[in-house]
Amino acid sequence: MPRTTKKPSKELRFEEALAGLERIVRDLEGGDLPLDDALKLFEEGVRLSRFCGAKLDEAEKRIEILMKGADGEWHAGPFPSGEEDEGVTHGDREEE
């Protein structure tokens, strides 16, 4: 029986869900699974895909909130991640 990505007691992270989804796609593309196992993996893949989509939607909304000014106008600027002190780099972006 194929392994499925079960949601542990702690909240599933986006990266973990994406890795599980990629594994499921590889397993299904291999075509060597019995139908029942393939259906179970497919169902798990749909669940993970929806989870990842929801996480991306949340991130997009957070970015929109942070980038929209109090006047309701969009303002271009660096994304304040709050992780500056944790060694996260932001590519070629200039610090202001």
| Tokens describing residue 67 | 């980038």
Domain 14-70 bears CATH identifier 1.10.10: no
Rounded to two decimals, the pTM is: 0.60
Mean pLDDT of 68-86: 61
Instruction: Give the per-residue pLDDT at 69.
Output: 72
**In the predicted model, what is the mean pLDDT of residues 60-83?**
69
- What's the pLDDT score for residue 25? 96
Locate the domains of the chain by residue range. 14-70
Least confident interval from 3-12, 14-23, 33-42: 3-12
Two tokens at 54?
């929801």
End-to-end CA distance of the chain: 54
